[in-house]
Structure 1
């Protein structure tokens, strides 16, 4: 039977390429043997459910345990009624147990039939009649909230001292976030902010992204099955662009082998990986779309906004930083600061933020194209200045990240420029004081650096010129734009203060300085 790269739901070993769950979670078997309860949290679509299903099947097949993955998601609609939630959850569990476990390991009909009993009572009764120690992975725990969430956690904690004969030997809570970030609208907070009422956990750990070797092994499965090879450069680039994020790793390969080139005789090159990456970014599949939706949250905005503008993070709560880490939006760099998790997200985030501005743009005729379809940089500059003076300030209001509204408006304009035949690449980081943009159109490359002039700060020109020198050097370019957004208070209208001048950089490059 042919196999495929999977981008929707848990992997099935008979039809999907996949990696070993125990290789990705080597500590779990020891935790279970030690009768521990623990938490596994990781962003969506990194393989939590796939790994837990596979591990449960492996543990059961060993003959040592009865292990099963059970979902709590159906209880989410009854956040304030634990009794109704419990009934819905136990009815769902009845179906799952019958599907995942052989008949001899099912709880008796007497236990299964009592759907009104509490979750804790059900687990206790099943444990006591089970011929093997019971191991339960509770998926989608953070779909629950409020009284129902606390009720489930307390029932599990209450049964914990009776393990392994009177309650499951091991229980794992599986979700996107650690216990303290579970939703609980009480006491002025929307999160528990504590591990209680589940203070029995021995460990809380995350499911890591794929390593380079993991990506190589996953792609090799396709080569072994079809003969179609991924060149070493293609594998390296796929890992670089995704940083091993499992959904992205699979999505890039799926786009190539199922749509871009179905012929297994054609090797998969770095160029094809780049093509697939651009398609994914422009198409905004569910995974990337849900990522963009998170950007609307206030605590996400408080951290993403300074990263995009290159400013310092400031005084942000530790819980908020951890929340973004748990979502997989950001990672800690080797230098210690936060950065966007991978180059694809680095493109998706500003593109998603500027979409509202793009939708608000007036009709703009592409006057910047030469008769042969190539880009005319001088005409583009003139068109941008005309657009900026006329529409820049009104469009700031359509940007949902007000502190970087000029960045978003400018990027919206540039997206209109590249449209189908070009691309935008961005580089930005906390504390760098800048955002770099590379516009590629056909064989032409235009580089620009965006900086902000804030109140009580010096003119960014002196700092910006050597910075853009360094950026242009990396692109082997002799000229570029330095754009200074003047955000000081008490200034005249944007239409009156937008100017340009030509300046020679310290390295002798001709820089067009745009102020506005």
Structure 2
């Protein structure tokens, strides 16, 4: 039986796969046009697998003959340039021999001697090698694919790219390297080049997008066809919505639901199973999430920009020339939304980001609930085990009032976002105590943090944002009502934190479009008493 793969390249013989048919056709078309193609995308998005499929497609092409050389620069980062070129040639030589063996061919004596005697010492020697090697190929077109290009030594980078550019712009030399594919995380301008010079301005940028909803359906349908176990439609939609189609996360969800959880194969995978898998994904450590957390902690300024993206409706414009935004996009943390604004890539990442920036101990945990709260928090549960969200959020409002300026003493938390941090920490602690599930829903930017709590078969939606004026406050209610309709939920909760000098606390319950919305405006002090004027 096949499995869902979360480690290394995907093998269609062993793993369920998304075919990427349209993307492959587009890529092969560019190769046939002789383009020098670059894919720069975050790790674990399927780049390596995609290029391997592309090479297989080229090998199977009967109309034209291509001679592919596949390289990987991952191990070269600490090499000096001369050592890099020496080792690079050994890899090229091995690849050439492999292609001949795979095709059942024997190289001529002249070619064998040429390959044995060649030594690469710098980028010029590399250029000459490709020129001479191409003469042995006849009508075959040489295609060079380089994975993990970020690993190229800094003192070799400029010359290497100049040689590729020289081949591309001189028609007489194009035969020696007909097409090139470069794969990496950082784009060329981020590899510490002197940006006043463009040694590789002939690149054709290729985008490998995350899975669409249809592609997630395609992936999971392969499992259903083989095993007979179906996924409820809302589970498939939730997997796509929570991951935004990020390949690793989609496969990890499927892996947990089909291999690790004790769900009978005769039982349809339902939302209750999804909620359990979601909680596990938020609590586990895996390579993808470890990369995310490592990257967002590289710069203290990342927290401020990420929370602004999540908390303010006015949003943050996606400016690729801003180093902070560019770096976060490179790491796959944020992306450009359809409206040109920054968005956190998916709700899973946003929730991990909130957890990462949430202090382990904020000093107020024992004050969340009044001292006379019954053990087991039965004060906030009905006799049927449903959550009394009104009472739970009323208590949070009272907790903020009780804590006063002490909320500003929460460590490592910008005061601008302390209210949202505390609400998430408060609800997260409550949900853990009642053995429920909490996760982010909806958009991953433009001022809204939508929290979904799943307990005893019922879903509760809480939207939180920062006060940006009466118009924004009122429009937020209508947006929440529209979202509740999509979710098939009759009631929702709207928590807005006010940072004004004289904020007006509010609690109101309204019927909007036939739905019940309970709204809170909770004042959050921004200065300790000694600093207030």
**8 Å contact from structure 1 (residues 72, 144) kept in 2:** yes
Q: Secondary structure at the match of 1:7?
A: coil
- How large is the Cα RMSD of the aligned pairs? 3.9
3-state secondary structure, aligned to 1:111: helix
Q: What's the CA shift for 1:170?
A: 0.9
The 1:127/1:225 distance shift into structure 2, 3 A limit, reads farther
The 5 A counterparts of 1:438-449 are 438-442=452-456, 447-449=461-463
The reply to whether residue 52 of structure 1 matches residue 58 of structure 2 is: no
- Structure 1 residues 263 and 68: CA distance shift in structure 2, 3 A: farther
Query: In structure 2, what is the equivalent of residue 360 of structure 1?
Result: 361
Q: Which runs of 5+ in 2 are unaligned?
A: 525-533
Name the stretch that deviates more: 108-117 or 466-475.
466-475
- Map 1:251-262 onto structure 2 (within 5 A): 251-261=252-262
**CA gap 1:482/1:254 in 2 versus in 1, 3 angstroms:** closer
Distance 1:266 1:300 in 2: 43
Instruction: State the TM-score, normalizing by the size of structure 2.
Output: 0.77
The correspondence for 1:392, drawn from 407, 412, 433, is: 407
With 332-341 and 39-48 compared, the bigger mean Cα shift is at 332-341
The C-alpha deviation readout for 1:2-23, integer Å capped at 9, x for no partner, is: 3221111111233222244554
The residue that corresponds to 1:221 in the other structure is 222
- Residues 373-382 or 237-246, more deviating: 373-382
Task: Give 1:171 shift.
Answer: 0.9
Kept after mapping to 2: 8 A contact 1:252/1:277: yes
**2:259 is paired with a residue of what secondary structure?**
helix
Q: What SS is found at the alignment partner of 1:26?
A: helix
Match of 1:414 in 2: 427
Instruction: Provide the C-alpha distance between the structure 1 equivalents of 2:8 and 2:39, rounded to a whole number of angstroms.
Output: 18
Corresponding residue of 2:202: 200
Return the offset for 1:274: 4.3
- Please tell me whether residue 277 in structure 1 is matched to residue 278 in structure 2: yes
The match for 2:38 is 39
Is the Cα contact below 8 Å between 1:68 and 1:137 reproduced in 2?
Answer: yes
Residue pair 2:145, 2:181 contacting (<8 A) in 1 also: yes
Q: How does 1:289-300 map to 2 (within 5 A)?
A: 289-297=290-298
CA separation of 1:162 and 1:388: change in aligned 2, threshold 3 A: farther
Q: TM-score, normalised by structure 1?
A: 0.79
Asked whether the equivalents of residues 310 and 344 of structure 2 are also in contact (C-alpha less than 8 Å), the reply is no
Shift of residue 336, structure 1, vs aligned partner: 4.5
Structure 2: distance between partners of 1:105 and 1:238:
50
Aligned counterpart, 1:135? 143
Deviation track 1:159-193 (CA, whole Å, cap 9, x = no partner) reads 3326667621111112234433x32165xxxxx48
- TM superposition shift of 1:424: 3.6
CA-to-partner distance for each residue in 1:97-148, whole Å, 9 max, x for gaps? 5556626377736536755433434433433333522111111123336332
2:378 counterpart SS class: coil
The separation in 1 between residues aligned to 2:42 and 2:443, in whole angstroms, is: 23
Distance 2:254 2:100 in 1: 33
Looking at structure 1, the residues matched to 461 and 267 of structure 2 have their Cα atoms a distance apart, in angstroms, of: 34
C-alpha distance in 1 between matches for 2:27 and 2:205: 11
Shift in alpha-carbon separation, 1:97–1:369, aligned structure 2, 3 A = farther
| Aligned equivalent of 1:169 | 178
1:346 & 1:311 partners in 2: Cα distance? 17
- For the pair 1:404 / 2:417, whether they are aligned, the reply is yes
| Number of residue pairs the alignment of both structures matches | 489
Distance 2:490 2:227 in 1: 42
Distance between the aligned counterparts of 2:491 and 2:61, measured in 1?
Answer: 65
Q: CA deviation at 1:308?
A: 0.6
8 Å CA contact retained: 1:460, 1:484: no
Aligned partners of 1:231, 1:458: CA distance in 2, in Å?
Answer: 40
